[in-house]
Amino acid sequence: MPAVRDWGRRDYGPSLTDMRALVLERRAGRIPDTLILVEHPPVVTVGVQGDDGGAAASGLPVVSVERGGHATYHGPGQLVGYPIVDLAPRGRDVRRFVQELEAGLVEALATWGVRAGHVAGQRGVWVDGARKVASIGIAVDHWVTFHGFALNVDLDLAPFQRFQPCGMSGARMTSIAREIGRPVPLAGAKRPVVDAWLGRFAPGGPAAEVAAPDRPGLAPA
């Protein structure tokens, strides 16, 4: 049975270390497929496609990582999800896995009345095909996935203007709160995202062990 771990708000560095350790645990079969939920203090991460040098000049902490994609921003009010999933029993289909992540986020966004979808040739989830509300960048180690998605729930979008997020203008970034015109508590975003994820990755639908030692548990929507 898949598990969900809520790490609450946590620095990026320790989260990255523990995420990589869980990949090894999943490869060894010692843990089930697991979705980590976390909120990071302000940081820019740069994927394997690099950036235009703007990330370093942004004045924000910058970390280079092994996920796909360019640079992106994480900060308070953004729900980050790290799915640790063994793709071997799922046909080793990375493209389908990413499509399922996108579809799950689209489903979760619909609970707020936000109509979102995929844009041909672009990764992530978009509103009206023009405003990016969620970024996706994964890595795969021996067919176990890590890194994942960043859903803009209710965060300050100004830091996206300091560099080229995902290789594009920061003006194209949006959030759930901006789209619906009212504040959205991060805790309220967790349940729809978890339910959508489990609906695709858990046999039998939304049910999972929620493990969050020393961290706040999942809050109801």
pLDDT in tens, 175-187: 999 999 999 999 9
Helix (H, G, I), strand (E, B) or coil at 128: coil
99 token code pair: 């499509």
For residues 46 and 63, the answer to whether their CB atoms sit within 8 Å is yes
Q: Is the predicted pLDDT of residue 209 greater than 60, yes or no? A: no
pLDDT band per the 50, 70, 90 thresholds, residue 52: low
Report the DSSP pairing between strands 131-141 and 144-152. antiparallel
Q: Is 166 among the catalytic positions? A: yes
Give the phi and the psi of residue 107 in degrees, each rounded to 5: -65, -45
Sheet hosting strand 62-64, strand order edge to edge: 62-64, 43-46, 71-74
Q: Is the pLDDT of residue 196 over 80?
A: yes
The position carrying tokens 């619909």 is 110
Mean pLDDT within 150-159: 96
**Stretch 102-108: mean pLDDT:** 96
Helices (H), 10-88: 12-27, 54-57
Q: Which residue has the higher pLDDT, 170 or 27?
A: 27
Q: What is the pLDDT of residue 172?
A: 85
Can you tell me the mean pLDDT for 193-212? 70
Backbone region of residue 133 per phi and psi (left: phi > 0; alpha: psi in -120 to 50; beta: other values)? alpha
Calculate the average pLDDT of the chain: 87
DSSP 3-state of 124? coil
What's the longest Cα–Cα distance across the chain? 47
Tell me the percentage of the chain whose pLDDT exceeds 70.
86
Q: Domains along the chain?
A: 3-210 (3.30.930.10)
Q: Which of 166, 176, 184, 202 is catalytic?
A: 166
Choose among 21, 155, 145, 126: nearest CA to 81.
145
Q: Which residue has the higher pLDDT, 2 or 5?
A: 5
Region 116-124 average pLDDT: 89
pLDDT at 216: 34
Q: Measuring CA to CA, which residue among 168, 158, 103 is closest to residue 132? A: 168
